[in-house]
Each structure stands twice: as C-alpha cells, then as structure tokens.
Structure 1
C-alpha cells in the first residue's frame, strides 16, 4: 500500500506519499513503529529459536531447490484451488530482506497439499517495498522455486514496485527487468503480454474447462485498457478473473467499495464484459468484499485481501479460493504456511521451546467472516450468457440396446405437452422382446390422469416422459403394465440384472398422499409365492421400486434363494428435480445407485434372482393385497431392464 484515498469509508492509516524512487518518508516508519512492527525480522520468533534477516536468504534459496514436485494439477477435477498472495512488500525492504515466509508459501503451493489441486497462483502486487533492484534480486531467487517446477503463476506491479505516479507506459524498471515476458512465457498458462510488458494474461484449465486470468498493472493507460478489452474479446467463451493491485477498499465491517481508480476499471473494463465474474486486489486493508451487478445484470464478486498490517508484515500469508463445481461454491481460506511450518510438531525436539511466539500463533489461520467464507455461484447459469452448456442431444433407441436388454420403454414419440395418453395407446418395448405396455385405469377414474410430457432428465436418451397424477386415492388414476404373456412376466434373472429409470417428483408431492407409490412394481403377493418368515408382509408385492413417505427409494424384492425379502434403501431426495436410479444385481449382491453414485444402505446378504408368479409388471402402479393401492405422482422417463449387471459407465445417464 502507498497512498491514502480520500473516501470517507476508508479506514487506512494516512501515510506519506512515496517519491519516484519508491523510498518512504518518515511518516511510514512512524506508523510502523507505533504498530510494533519495526525490527520484527531482526529478532527470533521465539528467543533463540530462529534467526531471520539477510543471512537467511541463502538458506531460503537452498530450501527452495528441493521444494515440491513437478507441477501437475488435475485439469478435469471439479475441485481446484486458485491461490492469491497480496502485498509482500515488508519482507523485501532495502536491507530488511526476509525471504523465508515467501519460500514457505511457495513450498505449500508446490506440495499439492491434501486435495487442494492448486492450479494457479496470483500475486496482487507490491511485491517489494521500494522497487529497488536489490529487493527484486532477492524476490527473484524465491520465485525461481515456481519456475523450476513449471508452476502456473502471475505477478503484477503495485505502486511500491514501480512508483505511484506512472501508468503501464512508464518504461523500464527493476520490476520489469525481473519479471520479463520471457520469464512469464516459460509457464504453459501464459497467453501473452501487453507491448509495454506490464500486463499479462493467462489461460489455465481447471474443472474441465478453460479460465482466463488478467494480471493488470496498478494503473492502466488508455492503451492498457484497450489491450485488456481485446484479450477478453479474443476469448469470448472463457470466464474471466481480474487481478490487479487496486480496485476496492473496505470498511471495518468488511464491506467493500470501489476506489476512484476501481471505478475507472469498472467502467472501462469490468462492467460491460459479462465474462468477468471475480476481481481480486490488495493495496488497502482491512480485507472485505462486495457483489456488484454488471451491465448484463449478473453478479461480479469484488474481493480485497491484504495482510501487510499484521504481524511480520503478513508473513506472506495466502488466501485460497477452492472452487467446487459440484457444489457450485467457492470456499475461501486465509493462512500463513510459514507459521504453519514452524508450528509443525516435526520442528519440535525434546525439551525445545515452541518456535512460534504469541503474535505468530495468532496468524497461523484467520477465521473471521472476512477471511474464511464461501461464495455460492451457479457456474453454469452465471456463464450461460457467453458459454452456455449445450443440452445433451437425444440418443437413438437402438444405441441404448446394450447386450442383454430385455425391455426398453421411452416416451418421446407421443402427443403434445399435457396431451392425454389414449386408452388404446401401446407403449412399445423398443428392445423388440415383446414386453409392451398398455394403459390401465382404476375404477371411477375420469379425465386425463396420464399425460405425455416433454420434460426429461438432462442425461436422458429420450427427450420425453409420462406424467402420472396419483393422489393417494386407489380408486382413481392410471398406470401402465406389461401385456399378458410378455416374456418379462416370467423372467427370474438368476444370473443378475439391471433396472434403470429416470423420474421426477413434483414440488407439491405430499407424503400423506403419495407415500409408497412405485416407479416399477410386479403383480403378485409374497404369500402367493410361498414366502414366509417374521420379516415379511404377506400382502406386499414380490418386487417393487418404491418411494417411502420420506422420499427414500426402496428396492424390495423376494429373491429365489430367500424365504424373506431383500431391501435396498436410498436417502431423502429433493423435490422438483430429475433423478436417475439404477438397481444392479451381479448374481449374488444387489446395489442401488442414484445418478451413478452408489448408496450406503445396500444389503450384504446374497440375493439371487427374482421370484415370479408370471404376472405383469407395472409402471407407475403399486399393488397391495391383490389390488391397486397407489398410483405414482410425478414424471417417469426412460426405463430399461437388462438381464446382466451393468457397469456405471454403461448406465443410460453415462
């Protein structure tokens, strides 16, 4: 940080300006002295434990050479991490050079710690305090850690690096001599630099897609604005993260506001480029954030992070942005890898003093609301204006007839949305095995209780479904069932099976009315099949894939090798959402999957085959005590039955 803006919301200390050489006036040192920070690096963190200062540079460089392994993040993992490092200037200040914290942060990034899957590191400027060549020499030797491992990173100039009174047209500086275009180009993510060299862009792959990161000088010239806008225009499908030294400042409550220059960036670059969804800057403290609406009416998350005002100049503290595309969330954490290293038990010998002093211990990890938080973003929706996710095309029925298919029903060839399924309509078994379905009506039913629909699961082969409208009254409603003498009616599946179905429950699904309705069921009671035992209901059907009152899937069947039932259970499913369920038996054990994910409540007791009484199978109907007891309320899409166990990658939603 350098200058103090005049915004009434700013809580930054008022300090003297830096001259063009980057040397501080006395006001800065007075402030630091009052804050208790002067000389922090000249003493040990605990008396006699560790010595820092210029003499530590060689040790840091030595440890740098062995840090980490080759940079190999997983580009397709839906969870990945962007590391952000703000102002490190107090660690590189004339003869007060303390590279150890920066080296430790780089070791953390290179180590692939845990499941971070770190894909990129972005420094936010003010790398040095005075922009001197000797300061950048010390910085450069630590950044070589990243260069040697092929790490993807960006740097940019803050006002302390280049002086506050110039733009990206300032010409040569020690910063530019250190972080050259040639050096940046060694990274596989480097996309290019502005002619002046002070602005760069980077394209990295993460979460199965490409992302564009702009690393912009602390003050863009008109040429710099034109360059940045052209970079975005040249990459029209990529989400964009803007990093620069100054955009916003925050009040003590963590509410961020655009600075005067930040407003220029907003108006000249961010507002009209819908691809920009996140901006990151340092310069001011305290940290904070805000969410602004761009010209397209979409959110832009504006974050400021800077810890130079804290103990040991922030100790090269890093902030991690952990993108989780499965949860549509970015989880943000802030911590100091260097202090973590010192606190690690491996550094403690018998009888040795804890190397972390009281002030350092408070900086290991920051957990306030402005330092540790989550940002919910529906990525597909947010990026749909410039990179819409293409809908999956329908797949021909013959492509779904895997080996062993004994029945395949789909509903994408019927009437218009909401049109009634005719009483004489036959739903053909597209496997060609003759397991066709016909409509059945409960006595007293009127109207159109079974209708065609264009709704479907996004991964469903057929783009259509049937809407069942059961409401808990067994005397009303319609379902489908296999025709008499269909081969499926006699099938016992003793060598294994896979039953699959797509379905959706409506938002008004009511457990008091709709509990224990079935997606797929089989006529015939367990008592008729001669099944006995204390754990059975003699009046329940011999096979059913049902939904409990808690919207839990239940596969309850009577295998050939058991006198009782075998039951797989699911978990409570949210309403108004399409799901895929698959029940797979390998000839011995049965497992149930939802959206390709194996569920927990799968029995370990062997279950061989399915008992049959040569009666029909029902789609959307549930028989109890020999009569229809419940009709499904919701949509049912493609249904496929195979007489062998399928792998997950063979399911219809794969």
Structure 2
C-alpha cells in the first residue's frame, strides 16, 4: 500500500480508475470453465501442473505472472480469499496454454500481518503450491514497516520463509535472515533469475543479492520488490527513495537486471532507465488494490516471445472472468480486464543483443562444404576462401573474371561479369552472413536502375547445369539480405535464373515469351516471385512470398517433387504456392546466373543486397535437410 508519509504517495484525488474493456484475454479461455468452487487436484512441483498440463521449457514463448498487493483480501474479519483462489486456479488451468513459467508476488500479502491474516493467506497459496512455482516477498503491511530484513522472526517469515519454497525445483536459496530469496527458472531454452527482495533490503541483504548475481553471471535477471517506483497520473514511473537506493546499489551496475517490478503505490506506471552498460532497464509499478474489490486478485501476465523479441503485457481478473457473463455486476464488467497504456502494452526487447554483454551467443562455426552436400547435389557455391578466389577483405571489389568454384565437383563454376558500364565496386566481398549459413561470407551486390547497373555470376557455356531438366524434382536454396535502408527502385530484380526465352522452348501460357524459363525475383513490394516453366507441361506456375524484411538475412528454398513446387522462407512454407502441375525445368542449354534475371535475353538491373551460400539438388529435400542449422 502507498505510504502516506511519502511525498509522492497517492492521495484519494490521484487514485483514478482506468476504464477497462471486457475483452477476455487471449490466454483466458479456460477460466470460464472453472467455477468459483472448482477444486484442482494436487500434483508434485516438477515442471508439470494439473489439470493445466506440462510447461514447455524449450518453447520460445513463456509467461511470467505478476501478482501485486493482495492486502485488502486478507484484512482481519473483512477477509475474502476467494478472488485470489480464482487467480491461482486460473494459473494452474492455463499453465500449458499460456506456458506460464513462474508467478511472483510483489508484497503486501496481508493488511496487518497478523497471525490470522498470514495463516489464511498461506492456506490460500496451497491452491497454487505444487502446481506452478512462485516467489513471495514481504511488503510493509506484512511486517513492522519500520524494520528492514534484519527484523528477526515474524508470522510472515514462519509462513513464507525459505522452508515454504525449499521443495520447489526453481528455488535457489535465501539470505541468512530468510526475507530475501531467489529462483532460477528454465524457459525458452535458457535459465532466468528472479530476485525477490524484502520491502527494505539492508546492506547485508544487498550484499547477498550481489553475491547471487555474481554466482549466476550469465543469467538474465528480473528483480522484484515491494517499494520501487511511483507513477504520475499519466503513467510515467519514477524511482522512490528505496527504489533509488536499489538502483544505485544493485540495479544500475548489474547489466543482468533488465526488468524491475514493484507494487506498493498506485496508479500503475512504467519507465525505461539506462544502466551503467548503456542498456535499457524496464521499471514497472503494478498495484490494483485501489480498484473494485481490492483488485480482486488481479494478475498481470508478461508473455515473453523470444521469436519476436517482444514482451506482451496484459492485466485481468480471473475471478470475474469465471463469472457467468449474464450475472456480472457493472463493476465486475469494467474490472475484468484493464487496457490502458500502463496495463496492456508491448515491450520491444532484442533479447540476444540485450544479453550480449553478460551472456553472449556463441556463433556457430563455419561448416565445411562436404557436410552440406547431400545426395543429389549438382552445384554448391559459397563465397569464402574455399569457394571464391581472392576472398578476404570486407568491402574489397570482386574483379570481373573471378571464379566461384562449384564445390560439388560437377563442373558448374561461376564467373563474375559486370553489367553494362558498371564500376568495379558494384560487387564486393563481405563477411556478413546468415547465422545458420554454412560459410561465413557473402557477396554484396549494388545493382540498380537508371541507369541499369550490377554484376552477375554465370556458368560457362558448356556447364552441365545449363541443360539439366530436373524431372525427378529439385531443391534450390540461397541466403539473401536486403539493405536497410532499402533505397532506390529495385522492382523485379533477379536473385538467380537461367538465361534464355521460354518462347524459344515453345511455351505459350506465360505472361511473356521473353521471360526466362526459371527465375527467382523480388517484386516492387519486396515479395519473392519464383517463376517456373516446367520441362513437361506448357505452364508457368508461380510462387509468391510475403514481403521480405530489410536489414535481416533470409533463407529461401524452392522445392519441387516432380509434381508441384513449394517455396519455403526461413524454413516455413509460404501461402501462395501453386497447385498447378510442374515437372522439371525447361532449361535451354544456356548459363545459370546468380545476381540477375534476363528479359528478352538482356540483363537490365542487377541484384541489390547480399547473396550467400547457394545450392542446387536434383531431388526434393525436406526442411530438416535445408542448409539451415537444425534447432
């Protein structure tokens, strides 16, 4: 609860209610089936929950549940633990669906910290115990507010001290006084640290917390405490006096701490501070005791998504969600979910980059060519020293006539050729590469229009690849990256193709007889277009991808099984793959090309961006056989 002696304490005039929508949270579907009296059977706390199911520690998506001040639900003879029981039933039931890793309480469990209040609260936590791991810390209403963590024995410590958590697989330990604790949870394939610090951590408590961080130097850490920050009515959070002490003594100097959560004050708010390493630390205040029914056990879910580098946050009351909608009161309806900017929001967190200073990602080593040439490989080019003569210095021009060797040994070497009157620096060597690419090198193409310029790499006139028909199927793979910023007009630029006109092969169904018989291009919207004139059918089935991102490497695979063609982007099948039959490629004995596409047997612009390892196989590969590293 807010401290009336603090100059930044909330006054009744500042305790405003945020209008809340009644939309059911996406992860809350199952709670409506859990009535207020629904019992949940006990289960051992070993990474599973019943009936919610097993937590997936490897999924890139998981949730951290945050529970602020529940003190008005445990207030002498006015106590009502049922809202909190409903919240705990929700967490158990939804653990699998929302992939809930952990729950942390931010203090002020009770109003007065009496034996009776503490005992009732401790009994209520049994609904959660053994099903979802959790931490609890003392707020100023749970103990004597004039003391720090050296206060000695209390009813709170007897109920919520280390003995309560000792059986949890996440529990790492507690400070000697018992009021500070830490948990290590495994989620998204890595370990995370949760620090639960007392309302007033003493110098000894802070030294203990620093020791925990020192003993876990590679773990990203979430710091939880009761009194951390207060907020203006506009939701801008500011460190409290205790929060400033924690910032100066612990948070700012430990780059591991990227998220710090507190309760105590209202309204809720958030801010971003910069630590000594120059990195963001998200500081949030979460408290709903001023709302209807003392907050009704309202929960906040922090949904971590490491695939999207995002944390999505939502705030809602499971107790009201479980009610029959026809019987909800007006105040219940407006308190089901909070959707203001301090209660429902998303944080952009580039996790790998943010954690690089203390837990750097070990880049995979280059893979030798022989390890990435499966049965049926007809050509494989890479632009490191193994595959490209003269490769080495980033930014160095790749001269016309330079040879990129076909490492499959099938004689499909490529030779560099400048288009039109392009300068030598239109093609340069680069060490930039997709993380999962076998070779750690690429070529940087600076093609463009007005005037047309660029460079291509082409096979010799007698290369076997020029005439292969691929009637049993094929897999064409490459890695590309578009520049950021993506400047200029590069519409319909080619990534790779075979030279020649489909009209010369007797094809009649295409957009133009002057198109090549097979090409992979980029549209004005940055969509991929794969155009194929099959060897057997008189057809032009075309695959279209979504828009490619800029400034990021993309893996592309086009797979044909002898019947139809399917395109994959980053190992995922795209939507717009044609069902039209397609058997083989109607090659005309003319060169295969990387870096451009002809029209009417003339190159216009060249490719703009980076191209990395490129491989052709004469059969359909499954995604697990692509050049991408296996998970």
Q: Distance in 2 between matches of 1:608 and 1:329?
A: 43
What's the offset of the Cα at 1:467? 2.2
Q: Distance in 2 between matches of 1:159 and 1:141?
A: 21
Match of 2:447 among 459, 466, 470: 470
Distance 1:215 1:483, change over 3 A: same
Q: How does 1:128-207 map to 2 (within 5 A)?
A: 128-149=110-131, 151-207=132-188
Q: Distance in 1 between matches of 2:329 and 2:397?
A: 76
Q: How does 1:406-425 map to 2 (within 5 A)?
A: 406-413=378-385, 414-425=391-402
SS in 2 for 1:480: strand
Moved more, 91-100 or 232-241: 91-100
Match of 2:3 in 1: 3
Moved more, 219-228 or 136-145: 136-145
What's the offset of the Cα at 1:147? 1.9
Match of 2:222 in 1: 241
Question: Is the counterpart of residue 97 in structure 1 residue 79 in structure 2?
Answer: yes
Q: How does 1:149-548 map to 2 (within 5 A)?
A: 149=131, 151-344=132-325, 354-413=326-385, 414-472=391-449, 476-507=453-484, 509-510=486-487, 512=489, 514-533=490-509, 535-548=510-523
SS in 2 for 1:76: coil
Q: Distance in 2 between matches of 1:629 and 1:474?
A: 9
The CA RMSD measured in Å over matched residues stands at 2.2
Q: Distance in 2 between matches of 1:160 and 1:388?
A: 41
Distance 1:549 1:283, change over 3 A: same
Distance 1:538 1:251, change over 3 A: same
Match of 1:593 among 568, 581, 604: 568
Q: Distance in 1 between matches of 2:235 and 2:608?
A: 48
Contact 1:500 1:582 in 2 (8 A): yes
What's the offset of the Cα at 1:481? 0.9
Provide TM-score, normalisation by structure 1.
0.88
Moved more, 455-464 or 521-530: 455-464
Q: Distance in 1 between matches of 2:452 and 2:117?
A: 85
Question: Is the counterpart of residue 568 in structure 1 residue 543 in structure 2?
Answer: yes
What's the offset of the Cα at 1:642? 0.8
Distance 1:371 1:70, change over 3 A: closer
Match of 2:528 in 1: 553
Match of 2:23 in 1: none
Q: Distance in 2 between matches of 1:97 and 1:389?
A: 49
Q: Deviations over 1:138-162 (max 9, x none)?
A: 222221122232x210011111111
Q: Distance in 1 between matches of 2:384 and 2:335?
A: 60
Question: Is the counterpart of residue 577 in structure 1 residue 552 in structure 2?
Answer: yes
What's the offset of the Cα at 1:180? 3.2
Contact 2:139 2:226 in 1 (8 A): yes
Contact 1:152 1:187 in 2 (8 A): yes
SS in 1 for 2:424: coil
Q: Distance in 2 between matches of 1:287 and 1:371?
A: 7
Match of 1:116 among 79, 98, 111: 98
Q: Distance in 2 between matches of 1:588 and 1:83?
A: 49
What's the offset of the Cα at 1:166? 1.2
Distance 1:366 1:646, change over 3 A: same
What's the offset of the Cα at 1:484? 2.5
Q: Distance in 2 between matches of 1:444 and 1:96?
A: 86
Match of 1:25 in 2: none
Q: Distance in 2 between matches of 1:287 and 1:597?
A: 40
What's the offset of the Cα at 1:509? 4.4
Distance 1:536 1:89, change over 3 A: same
SS in 1 for 2:312: strand
Contact 1:449 1:469 in 2 (8 A): yes
Contact 1:474 1:628 in 2 (8 A): no
Distance 1:292 1:197, change over 3 A: same
What's the offset of the Cα at 1:621? 2.5
Match of 2:39 among 55, 60, 63: 63
Distance 1:215 1:12, change over 3 A: farther
Distance 1:441 1:90, change over 3 A: closer
Match of 2:45 in 1: none
Aligned length: 599
Contact 1:11 1:251 in 2 (8 A): no
Match of 1:80 in 2: 62
Question: Is the counterpart of residue 107 in structure 1 residue 82 in structure 2?
Answer: no
Contact 2:52 2:97 in 1 (8 A): no
Q: Distance in 2 between matches of 1:483 and 1:336?
A: 69
Distance 1:215 1:555, change over 3 A: same
Match of 1:618 in 2: 593
Contact 1:585 1:591 in 2 (8 A): yes
Distance 1:371 1:434, change over 3 A: same
Q: Distance in 2 between matches of 1:521 and 1:491?
A: 13
Q: Distance in 2 between matches of 1:650 and 1:97?
A: 61
SS in 1 for 2:39: helix
Q: Distance in 2 between matches of 1:142 and 1:628?
A: 74
SS in 2 for 1:292: strand
SS in 1 for 2:322: helix
Q: Distance in 2 between matches of 1:639 and 1:319?
A: 47
Instruction: Provide structure 1 residue ranges, at least 5 long, that are not aligned to the other structure.
Output: 15-30, 36-58, 345-353
What's the offset of the Cα at 1:424? 3.4
Contact 2:443 2:611 in 1 (8 A): yes
